[in-house]
Amino acid sequence: MVAQTRRMMPPIEYVRLSDEAAGLDGIIAIHSTARGPAAGGCRLWTYDDPEAAMRDAFRLAEGMSYKNAMAHLPLGGGKAVLRRPAGDFDRRALFEAFGEAVEKLDGRYVTAEDVGTGVADMECVARHTRHVAGRTALPGLAGGDPSPWTALGVFEAMKAAVEFRYGSGLAGVTVAISGVGNVGAGLARLLHGAGAKLVVADIDPLRCARLAEETGARIMGIAGIAAVEAEVFAPCALGGALDDATVEALHAKVVCGAANNQLAAPHVADLLMERGIAYAPDYVANAGGIINVAAEYLGESESEVRGRVMAIGPRMRELLDTAASDGLPPPVVADRMAEELMRPETVAA
Ligand code: NAD
């Protein structure tokens, strides 16, 4: 059984971007504005052809609609995908031209950084539009590095998933973390503070060594981390960490991490369920970053960010309870909850 319910709706609007002089070639896709302006980062990546960039933009914009809805943000979903020019290029000119394109959408799309873009690029965008976040944080207001918020959200989601599956808190529980970069390391520190035991793996041995010194974590090679004896597996590196073989080898009965698109294929959600593993859907657990980025755009305070991030735990518990009582994989329930939150009747209520 492949219990996939997401409907893959095309975007409601998209704009092709082309400015040869500035090196701009890409697309802005607006998947949904049901809950508010379509928000989602701007990716700069190498694509073979414009169609590949367009497919990625549509897919990523849809993902943002679900993520933003599940985080209860007053935002729809969108994404910008820019094709990285070959060779040297004028980065400032490219992002200024992109800023002009965002401005033309008159607030229907809000951008921020994503893979391949950073704060300096968003500052260039901001010269031409105010519909941009991910800029330098202003005192007293939300903004800045989203990673600590992502780590906190995953930590809260994990607490809820462990309570659901094992009926316990995190103290004494062993968590295996794959990828201890910005989010994985932050998560490790929070878990250490809560009395959890850690096993960590990363392709960068220095990152593991630093964390081991700080938290007493045991270091493993990346090949064996998923199968290590632990109650929780936390994928915090790249996407696609969970495939048939990994799920077969998993010892942990809870999977909860920060990485986007953790399931290598939709049917993996069924495999996890069949093996009695509680899977915390990635886009629900890792919403802390977008919550922080959204708060910057909406002019909210840090305490409002904290409130929204802390709500991830109870939301995850409700989701896992519903999945168990309906006999469905959690990602299917997550998509249904998000679709409900995008319905005009729900938004109006
Ligand atoms: P990062 O680049 O800081 O860290 C990623 C870490 O994974 C690095 O230490 C890298 O060496 C390691 N790594 C790469 N390949 C690996 C492999 N095969 N096995 C083990 N480790 C490997 O990135 P990050 O900001 O910590 O993000 C981690 C994940 O969380 C990404 O998938 C990202 O898309 C997702 N995410 C991040 C945020 C955020 O706020 N940063 C928000 C939502 C989702």
- Please check whether residues 226 and 333 belong to one and the same domain: yes
- Please check whether residues 227 and 119 belong to one and the same domain: no
Residue 116 assigned ligand-binding role: no
Residue 240 assigned ligand-binding role: no
- Any atom of ligand 1 within 6 Å of the Cβ of 260: yes
Residue 248 lies in a domain: yes
Q: Report the C-alpha gap between 9 and 32 in whole angstroms.
A: 9
Q: Which long-range contacts (CB under 8 A, 24 or more apart) does 302-306 make?
A: 302/140, 302/141, 302/142, 304/142, 305/142, 305/149
85 lies in which domain range? 13-65+73-125
- Any atom of ligand 1 within 6 Å of the Cβ of 2: no
* Number of separate domains in the chain: 2
CA angle at 244 for the pair 239 and 247, rounded to the nearest 5°: 80
How many A from CA of 147 to the centre of ligand 1?
A: 10
According to the model, what pLDDT value does residue 1 have?
46
Instruction: Read off the pLDDT of residues 217-247 as tens digits, 9 standing for 90 and up.
Output: 999 999 999 999 999 999 999 889 999 999 9
According to the model, what pLDDT value does residue 345 have?
83
- Any atom of ligand 1 within 6 Å of the Cβ of 182: yes
Return per-residue pLDDT of the chain as tens, 349 residues.
445 556 667 788 999 999 999 999 999 999 999 999 999 999 999 999 999 999 999 999 999 999 999 999 999 999 999 999 999 999 999 999 999 999 999 999 999 988 899 999 999 999 999 999 988 878 878 887 889 999 999 999 999 999 999 999 999 999 999 999 999 999 999 999 999 999 999 999 999 999 999 999 999 999 999 999 999 999 999 889 999 999 999 999 999 999 998 999 999 999 999 999 999 999 999 999 999 999 999 989 889 999 999 999 999 999 999 999 999 999 999 999 999 999 988 888 8
Residue 330 lies in a domain: yes
Q: Report the C-alpha gap between 276 and 274 in whole angstroms.
A: 5
Which residue, 117, 120, 15, is CA-closest to 57?
A: 15
- Please check whether residues 51 and 112 belong to one and the same domain: yes
Residue nearest to atom 27 of ligand 1 (CA): 183
- Is 104 an annotated catalytic residue? no
Which ligand 1 atom is the nearest neighbour of the CA of 258?
30
- Any atom of ligand 1 within 6 Å of the Cβ of 289: yes
CATH number for the domain spanning 281: value is 3.40.50.720
Which residue, 40, 342, 75, 87, is CA-closest to 27?
A: 40
Judge whether 96 and 121 are in contact, CB under 8 Å.
no
DSSP for 71-95 reads TT-S-EEEEEEEEPPSSS--HHHHH
Residue 313 assigned ligand-binding role: no
- Please check whether residues 115 and 259 belong to one and the same domain: no
Q: Which long-range contacts (CB under 8 A, 24 or more apart) does 181-184 make?
A: 181/207, 181/236, 181/237, 182/145, 182/147, 182/151, 183/147, 183/150, 183/151, 183/154, 183/236, 183/258, 183/286, 184/151, 184/234, 184/236, 184/237, 184/257, 184/258
Residue 121 lies in a domain: yes
Instruction: Outline where DSSP puts E strands in 95-166.
Output: 109-110
- Please check whether residues 204 and 332 belong to one and the same domain: yes
pTM for the model: 0.92
